[in-house]
Amino acid sequence: MSANGLYRARLLWFDREPDGAEDTEAFHYIEDGAIAVAGGKIVWSGDWADLPAEYSSDDCEDFRPHLIVPGFIDCHIHFPQGQVVASYAGSLLEWLNTYTFVEEQKYGDPDFAEAMAGRFLDMLLAHGTTTAVAYGSVHKCSADALLGAAVSKGMRIIAGKVMMDRNAPEALTDTPQTGYDDTKALIAEWHGKDRVEVAISPRFALTSTEAQMEMAGTLVREHPECLVQTHLSENHREIETVAELFPWSKDYTDVYDHYGLMGPKTLFGHCIHQTPREMERMAESRSVAVFCPTSNMFLGSGLFDLSKMRGTAPETRHAIATDIGGGTNWSMLRTLDEGYKVLNLQGQRYHPLRSFYQATLGNARAIGMDDRIGKLEAGYEADFIVLDKTSTPAMALRAETISTLSEELFLMQTLGDDRAIAATIVSGVTAHRR
Ligand code: GUN
Ligand code: ZN
C-alpha cells in the first residue's frame, strides 16, 4: 500500500464552527471533489474538474456518491476498557470498583497489552476515528504497547499511563516517584516519534495523593509540550470524596488548579457539575471541557451543559468524545447523536454542521493540532473517512427523502454507526474498508 493516491467523492471540511446551514463561509462542500495525496499528506483538494494534470492518475479511488470528511478525532477514550463496555453498574464509583479496576490489572502483562493495542486501534479505524487521546492503565507497558502499535499503523495517537496511588487495588497503584519516572520515560521514548505523543495523565484527584498531584504538576511544568488529561466533576459522590480528600480546596476544579494542572493543553473529561466559579477558572485558564455523552447517560452522571460553556467570557473551550468504556459506543456518529439528545433535554440545539465540525476540526483545535489534522486541505495529514448515508436499510429508506447536506449529516449522526464508514484512510493509506 502506498501513501500516495487520488480520491474522488463529495468533500466536506470546515474552516471554523458554523452558525448553521446558512453560514456557508464556515465550510467547504464540493459536489464532485478530488483529493490528491503524496507522502501521507494531502497535496491538492478541490473540484475534480480543476485537478492539475500533475496529480491526475489512472489509479483513482472513486468513492462517489459517498461523502469524504476528515477522520474523526476522539478526545477521551480508555485503551484498557474495550472489554469493560456494557458492564452493569449504577454509577461511576461502583462501575470503577466492580469492573474497571479489575479489568485494567490485566494490562500489566505486556503481551496482553500488545495484543489488545492492535485490536483497539483497529476498532477506532473501523469506526472512522483516526486520532484519539487515550488513557492507558497504570502500567507503563500499556502506553508502550498502544503508542508502538500507533507508530506501526501510522496513526496520530496521544496517550499516557495513568498515575494513581490511592483508592484503588494495590495491583493498580504506582507511587508519586514511579508515576513521575514512568511518564518521563514514556515522553523520552515516544513523544514526537512519527505521529504519536504522550499525555500526562493523573487519572483523577480521587486516586492521587497530594504528593502525586505535586509530581503531576512538576511533569506539566517540565513538559509544556505535552497534553494533560484527567477527569473532573463527573459524579456527585466523586465530588464529595474529592472535597474530603482535599479539605483546603475551594472546589474540585481548585484541586487541579492548585497543582498547576489547568491550562490550554489540559483536557478535563466530563465537567458536568461545575459551579460558576469553576467555570470562570475553566474559561480563564483556556482548559478544555470534554463532553462524553454516551458515558454520562450510561453512568447516570448528568447532562453536560454546552450553553454554560458558551456563557463564560471567553467561551470555555470544549471537545466531544466517546469515553469508552464508561461510554457505550466507539462511534463518533453515535456519540454526536447522544450529544444531540443530552443538549436537547436541556432545550439546547446542536446543528449537525456544528456536530461534524466538532468531531473533526473542533476536536483538532481542542488538542492544538488544527494545523495538521481536521481539514481536507493541501498540507494537512491525509487522514479522512468515506461516509455512506445508505449503509443500513433504515438509512437507505430515510435517505430517499433527503435533499440538503444538513439533512444528510443529521441522518448519518442519528442513524449511523460503524457501518456508515465505507473506508478509513490514515496517512494516505487505506487502513479500513467496510
Ligand atoms: N474517573 C476516573 N476514572 C474514570 C474512568 O475510567 N472512566 C470514567 N468515566 N470516569 C473516570
Ligand atoms: Zn474517562
Q: Is residue 160 part of a domain?
A: yes
Predicted local distance difference test score (pLDDT) of residue 3: 76
Q: Which amino acid appears at position 101 of this protein?
A: F
Count of domains forming the chain: 2
Q: Is residue 241 part of a domain?
A: yes
Q: Is residue 304 part of a domain?
A: yes
Give the distance (Å) from ligand 2 centre to CA of residue 322: 9
**Which of 276, 300, 330 corresponds to the end of one domain?**
330
Give the distance (Å) from ligand 1 centre to CA of residue 79: 12
Distance from C-alpha of 264 to C-alpha of 285, rounded to nearest angstrom: 7
Q: Return all residues near 32 (Cβ < 8 A) that are at least 6 apart.
A: 8, 10, 47, 48, 49, 64
Residue 316 has pLDDT above 70, yes or no: yes
First to last CA, the chain: 17
Are the CB atoms for 245 and 204 separated by under 8 Å?
Answer: no
Give the distance (Å) from ligand 1 centre to CA of residue 122: 23
Tell how strand 60-70 and strand 384-387 pair up: antiparallel
Report pTM: 0.98
Q: Is residue 153 part of a domain?
A: yes
Q: Which of 75, 215, 80 is nearest to 158 (CA)?
A: 75
Whether residues 300 and 411 share a domain: the answer is no
Burial 414-428 (b: 16+ CB within 10 A, else e): bbbbbbbbbbbbbbb
Whether residues 294 and 424 share a domain: the answer is no
Q: Is residue 84 part of a domain?
A: yes
Taking residues 361-377, what's their average pLDDT?
A: 98
Taking residues 57-80, what's their average pLDDT?
A: 98
Distance from C-alpha of 303 to C-alpha of 291, rounded to nearest angstrom: 9
Which atom of ligand 1 is nearest the CA belonging to 204? 2
Predicted local distance difference test score (pLDDT) of residue 1: 53
Residue 155 has pLDDT above 90, yes or no: yes
Strand partners, 14: 27
Closest ligand to Cα 234: 1
The CATH number of whichever domain residue 404 belongs to comes to: 2.30.40.10
**Which of 330, 360, 389 corresponds to the end of one domain?**
330
Q: pLDDT tens-digit profile of 296-305?
A: 999 999 999 9
Q: What average pLDDT does the structure give for the chain?
A: 97
Strand partners, 432: 424
Whether residues 185 and 42 share a domain: the answer is no
Q: pLDDT tens-digit profile of 134-143?
A: 999 999 999 9
Q: Which helix (H) or strand (E) holds 11?
A: strand 5-14
Q: pLDDT band for position 20 (50/70/90)?
A: confident
Q: pLDDT tens-digit profile of 204-239?
A: 999 999 999 999 999 999 999 999 999 999 999 999
Whether residues 15 and 54 share a domain: the answer is yes
The cell for 379 is 498540507
Residue 386 has pLDDT above 90, yes or no: yes
For ligand 1, pick from 84, 91, 92 the residue to mutate: most ligand atoms within 8 Å of CB. Answer: 92
Closest ligand to Cα 242: 1
Give the distance (Å) from ligand 2 centre to CA of residue 324: 7
Q: Is residue 378 part of a domain?
A: yes
Distance from C-alpha of 227 to C-alpha of 73, rounded to nearest angstrom: 15
Q: What percent of the chain has pLDDT over 90?
A: 98
Q: pLDDT band for position 344 (50/70/90)?
A: very high
Whether residues 183 and 321 share a domain: the answer is yes
Whether residues 134 and 242 share a domain: the answer is yes
Q: Is residue 362 part of a domain?
A: no
For ligand 1, pick from 95, 97, 99, 100 the residue to mutate: most ligand atoms within 8 Å of CB. Answer: 100
Q: Is residue 354 part of a domain?
A: no
Closest ligand to Cα 80: 1
The CATH number of whichever domain residue 187 belongs to comes to: 3.20.20.140
Whether residues 32 and 135 share a domain: the answer is no
Domain that holds residue 392: 5-70+374-433
Q: pLDDT band for position 2 (50/70/90)?
A: low
Whether residues 383 and 322 share a domain: the answer is no
Q: Which residues line ligand 1 (CB under 6 A)?
A: 78, 92, 96, 100, 203-204, 231, 234, 295, 323, 326
Whether residues 52 and 92 share a domain: the answer is no
Whether residues 310 and 203 share a domain: the answer is yes
**Which of 273, 301, 330 corresponds to the end of one domain?**
330
